Amino acid sequence: MDDSLARRRILIVDDHQDTLDLLTQACETQGATVQSTSSAREALELASREAPDLVITDIGLRGETGVWLLEELRKIHPNLPVLALTGRSPEDALAAGFDAILLKPTDPWQLCDEVRRLLRDGSARR
């Protein structure tokens, strides 16, 4: 089984540029094609144009939150896996309906492992 992220499209949303850069680089190093943005609204526009294979979003975004983004994404892509990043309570993120949660600061290699797991589990559901 190919466990790389090659040919996978990942959308990353975080309003801290250093985190966005780090996570983007980690996913690209694993072969993924990454789109990144600091805005939940822009992320929704990008996902509306072309569905990614997975979305990674910070919950505590400025403006519309990661929870808002999750709710909007579920309307257009109900089976799209969405991973939350949070520095707060992971229980709140689980209650919101995210497929997985990682606490900040996030280890980029742990993130890639979790992305692979979600993509494997997601393709079994589809």
For 19-42, write each residue's pLDDT tens digit.
999 999 999 999 999 999 999 999
- What confidence tier does 126 reach under pLDDT thresholds 50, 70, 90? very low
Amino acid, single-letter form, for residue 96: A
Angstrom distance (rounded) from CA 76 to CA 25: 27
- What confidence tier does 1 reach under pLDDT thresholds 50, 70, 90? very low
Q: Is the preceding omega at residue 90 within 30 degrees of 0, hence cis? A: no
Instruction: Tokens for 120, please give them.
Output: 């494997």
The full set of domains in the chain, from first to last, is 9-125 (3.40.50.2300)
Q: Based on C-alpha coordinates, what's the Rg of the chain?
A: 13
| DSSP state at residue 106 | P
Query: Model pTM?
Result: 0.93
pLDDT in tens, 79-119: 999 999 998 777 777 788 999 999 999 999 999 999 999 99
